[in-house]
Every structure is written in structure tokens, then in C-alpha cells.
């Protein structure tokens, strides 16, 4: 009886868990975004932006959203750290690719990096959310301008959910809507990448 009841309790309280990779060139604002997500969805004050240093290892954020647990993996974007991203491709359920909209000079480098990622077989079918970050900065590229640069390789996205959205990780504008979009896509893609139950 106890086993039955505890089994039922476990069944009723278990959460679907998903893993979401946050990648993009260094200085794009990935860690700032993770801190912002934590503050919006968990109601805790995130790290002071001035205290965020370039990421060398991995930052993890566990956030409960819409009855799911989302584990965010924020990796460093420096060139010699990018090869580490691939190790997470087979296990992730979605990818957030952050673009620095104030850095037009590096947009082509950014596109090449994105292309290398989406053409990796290990992420086939995985939903991709691209964020045109730093929209709070006057003169930042608009989301349409960022999209235009990536349009040239859009065909390589294949059959998957993808979207480009404007955000400011620093001020928080657009972040909640972007993550809501992502969570729906994670749930929609369950057949291809099933969640883990804990």
C-alpha cells in the first residue's frame, strides 16, 4: 500500500525537465540573460550585471516555468571555448542563440558560428530561439536587420521551430515573452526530444 501511494505521489508531483543551451559569441549577453531569466521566473534578484565576468566554465540555472523544470546551460562564447558547445548538443532540448545587436562588425562571424551549429546533426530538429540582444542601446540593429543577415542561411534550419526576437537582457524587455515562446516549443517537440522525468 505504501509503495502504491508513494508511487502515486511521485507520479503526481514529478516534473518534466528540459535542458536548454544558451550560446552565442562572447560578450553577446548570455550570462546577463540567464540572470534576468532567474529574476523574472524565480523572483530572486539576479547577479549584479557589473559582477558578471566572461564565462569560462558553465553556468547553470534551474527555473520552474509552466509546470516544467527548465535547466539552462550558459556556456562561454570565446572562440577557443566554442568547441565545448558540441558536447551538449545531443542532450539539449532547445538552443537559445544570443546576438549582440550593437556589434555589426561581428555579425558575419556570428552568422558563421550559427551556421556551424545548425548544420551539426546532433541538433537536428531542435527548436532554436535567436535573441537580438541589447535593444536598450540607442542605434542597436533592429530585429529585422539581424534577421536579414541570417536569412541567407535560413534554409539550413530545416524542419524545426525557430524564431528571432528582440530583447534587452539588461533591462528585461522581451525576455518573458521569448522564454514563454521557448517553453511552448519544448513541449511541442516532446516526441522528438522527450523530457526527463524526475
Ligand X SMILES: Nc1nc2c(ncn2[C@@H]2O[C@H](COP(=O)(O)OP(=O)(O)OP(=O)(O)O)[C@@H](O)[C@H]2O)c(=O)[nH]1
DSSP string, 64-109: EETTEEEEEEEE--SGGGGGGGGGGTTT-SEEEEEEETT-GGGHHH
What's the distance, Cα to Cα, between the start and end of the chain in Å? 22
For 169, what's the count of Cα atoms within 13 Å in the CB-facing half-sphere? 29
Whole-angstrom Cα distance, residue 122 to residue 109?
Answer: 22
Nearer to ligand X, 16 or 150 (CB): 150
Q: Which of 14, 78, 82, 187 is catalytic?
A: 78
* CA-based max dimension of the chain: 66
Whole-angstrom Cα distance, residue 146 to residue 139?
Answer: 13
The 129-168 site mask, x for binding ligand X (CB under 6 A), equals: ----xx-xx------------------------------x
CB of 156 to ligand X, least distance (A): 23
CB of 35 to Mg ion, least distance (A): 10
* Chain positions contacting Mg ion, by CB under 5 A: 30-31, 55
CB of 171 to ligand X, least distance (A): 6
The 8-47 site mask, x for binding ligand X (CB under 6 A), equals: ----------------x-xxxxxxx---------------
Nearer to ligand X, 134 or 185 (CB): 134
Binding region for ligand X (CB under 6 A) out of 74-82, 84-92, 107-115, 118-126: 74-82
135 in active site: no
Strands (E), the chain: 16-23, 58-65, 68-75, 94-100, 128-133, 162-166, 196-197
Q: The cell 565576468 sits on which residue?
A: 53
For residue 189, state whether it binds ligand X (rule: CB under 6 A).
Answer: no
Residue 134: strand, helix, or coil? coil
What part of residues 87-126 is at the interface with ligand X (CB under 6 A)?
A: none
Residues in the site for ligand X, rule: CB under 6 A? 24, 26-32, 49, 52, 54-55, 76-78, 133-134, 136-137, 168-170
Give catalytic residues, as residue numbers.
78
Amino acid at each position: 500500500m505504501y509503495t502504491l501511494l508513494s508511487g502515486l505521489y511521485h507520479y503526481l508531483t514529478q516534473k518534466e525537465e528540459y535542458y536548454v543551451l544558451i550560446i552565442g559569441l562572447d560578450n553577446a549577453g548570455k550570462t546577463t540573460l540567464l540572470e534576468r531569466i532567474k529574476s523574472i521566473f524565480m523572483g530572486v534578484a539576479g547577479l549584479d550585471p557589473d559582477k558578471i565576468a566572461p564565462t569560462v566554465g558553465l553556468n547553470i540555472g534551474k527555473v520552474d516555468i509552466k509546470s516544467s523544470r527548465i535547466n539552462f546551460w550558459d556556456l562561454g562564447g570565446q572562440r577557443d571555448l566554442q568547441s565545448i558547445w558540441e558536447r551538449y548538443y545531443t542532450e539539449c532540448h532547445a538552443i537559445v542563440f544570443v546576438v549582440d545587436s550593437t556589434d555589426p562588425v561581428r555579425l558575419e562571424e556570428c552568422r558563421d558560428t550559427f551556421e556551424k551549429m545548425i548544420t551539426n546533426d546532433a541538433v537536428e530538429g531542435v527548436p532554436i530561439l535567436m535573441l537580438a540582444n541589447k535593444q536598450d542601446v540607442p542605434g542597436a540593429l533592429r530585429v529585422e536587420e539581424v534577421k536579414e543577415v541570417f536569412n541567407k542561411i535560413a534554409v539550413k534550419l530545416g524542419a524545426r521551430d525557430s524564431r528571432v526576437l528582440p530583447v534587452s537582457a539588461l533591462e528585461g524587455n522581451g525576455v518573458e515573452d521569448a522564454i514563454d515562446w521557448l517553453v511552448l516549443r519544448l513541449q511541442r517537440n516532446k516526441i522528438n526530444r522527450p523530457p526527463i522525468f524526475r
